[in-house]
């Protein structure tokens, strides 16, 4: 297993290199010019050109790419064109809010979606099943920003239970940290909960048809034991897969959620950087997200072996 993990980690290097080249090329050929944005609306073409020169944007593609790769190899993600701050520092500033939001959403999803899926499978065809699946379809269909506005209106403006926006780090206290994350996590989690609940139901239904479940029932095992010990463990592979793949949904959804709830996370940083053509920041974030995907996939593969001992690498 250890050698497998090491092999997978080594294999990330060419993947990241291809991603890096792709991202850099894409930004190079994309329309838009950061110098124009920096120079402001009233600037002359000469001003814009001088800024392009000072930023090195007038250099040939290969020179710019080579210089970027060289810096990356030395652990330097570069400096933001706009803020003049190191990209790694900017990402570091924004990582906390995004991670917090993703962790709370993930926990919320597991706590809500898995039991819902199990119950729906257990009561398949019943009113409870239809209600749960109805909510799942509803949750899956609503855009994140619509849910976000609804939640903010009800729980922040009308009831005044929770704040509308912002982020407080955990170091300032648990409640200040949590209260800013509840509404965004619910908004972001709706799609995710719906997806995981549906997959859990489908996987459980398949497992509940198996002979060993019938045997367990025949031996007189209680319903809870059958569902949560025998069935859920054997249905875990597709559930783990969809939770892992769902992290992609979370990252995408975080971009919108962070904007709606004014959370200073990586999603907002990404949007700001793209709109301003802040190339080093965009490149740094894409590299980070790519790395996260690779890591999540690796973790999923490792978890497979834990939930299903028949899987060997």
Secondary structure string (H, E, C) spanning 150-208: HHHHHHHHHCCCCCCCCCCCHHHCHHHHHHHHHHHHHHHHHHHHHHHHHHHHHHHHHHH
Q: Give the shortest CB-34-to-other proteins separation in angstroms.
A: 8
**Please, which of residues 270-289 interact with other proteins by CB under 8 A?**
271-272, 275-277
Asked if 5 and 298 touch (Cβ cutoff 8 Å), the reply is yes
- Rule CB under 8 A: is residue 174 a binding residue for other proteins? yes
**Please, which of residues 36-65 interact with other proteins by CB under 8 A?**
36-45, 47-48, 50-51, 53-54
- Contacting residues for 77 by C-beta, under 8 A, at least 6 apart: 71, 86, 87, 88, 91, 280, 283, 284, 287
- How many chain residues touch other proteins (CB under 8 A)? 63
Based on CB atoms, which residue is closest to other proteins, 6 or 103?
103
Q: If you search the block for the tokens 């922040």, which residue do you land on? A: 156
Q: Give the shortest CB-281-to-other proteins separation in angstroms.
A: 10
- Rule CB under 8 A: is residue 225 a binding residue for other proteins? no
Query: Would you state the structure tokens that stand for residue 17, as one six-digit string?
Result: 């290199």
Q: Is 86 helix (H, G, I), strand (E, B) or coil?
A: strand
Based on CB atoms, which residue is closest to other proteins, 80 or 100?
80
- Rule CB under 8 A: is residue 26 a binding residue for other proteins? no
Asked if 225 and 241 touch (Cβ cutoff 8 Å), the reply is no
Q: Which residues bind other proteins (CB under 8 A)?
A: 31-34, 36-45, 47-48, 50-51, 53-54, 80, 82-85, 90, 93-94, 149, 152-153, 156-157, 159-166, 170-179, 259-262, 264, 268-269, 271-272, 275-277
């Amino acid at each position: 297993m250890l050698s497998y993990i090491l092999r997978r980690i080594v294999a990330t290097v060419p993947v990241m290199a291809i991603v890096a080249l792709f991202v850099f090329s894409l930004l190079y050929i994309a329309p838009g010019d950061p110098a124009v944005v920096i120079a402001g609306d009233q600037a002359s073409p000469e001003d814009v050109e001088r800024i392009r020169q000072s930023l090195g944007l007038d250099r040939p593609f290969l020179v710019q790419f080579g210089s970027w790769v060289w810096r990356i190899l030395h652990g330097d993600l570069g400096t933001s064109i706009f803020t003049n701050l190191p990209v790694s520092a900017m990402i570091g500033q924004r990582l906390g809010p995004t991670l917090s939001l993703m962790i709370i959403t993930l926990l919320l999803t597991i706590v809500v979606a898995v039991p819902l899926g199990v119950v729906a499978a257990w009561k398949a065809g019943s009113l409870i099943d239809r209600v749960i699946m109805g909510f799942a379809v509803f949750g899956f269909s609503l855009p994140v920003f619509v849910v976000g506005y609804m939640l903010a209106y009800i729980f922040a403006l009308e009831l005044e239970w929770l704040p509308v926006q912002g982020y407080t780090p955990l170091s300032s206290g648990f409640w200040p940290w949590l209260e800013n994350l509840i509404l965004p996590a619910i908004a972001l989690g709706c799609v995710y909960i719906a997806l995981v609940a549906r997959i859990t139901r489908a996987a459980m239904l398949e497992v509940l048809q198996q002979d060993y479940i019938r045997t367990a029932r025949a031996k007189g095992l209680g319903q809870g034991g059958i569902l949560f010990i025998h069935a859920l463990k054997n249905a875990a592979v597709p559930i783990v897969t969809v939770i892992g793949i769902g992290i992609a949904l979370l990252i995408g959804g975080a971009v919108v959620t962070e904007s709606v709830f004014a959370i200073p996370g990586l999603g907002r940083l990404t949007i700001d950087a793209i709109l301003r053509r802040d190339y080093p920041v965009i490149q740094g974030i894409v590299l980070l997200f790519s790395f996260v995907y690779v890591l999540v996939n690796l973790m999923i593969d490792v978890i497979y072996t834990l939930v299903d001992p028949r899987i060997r690498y």
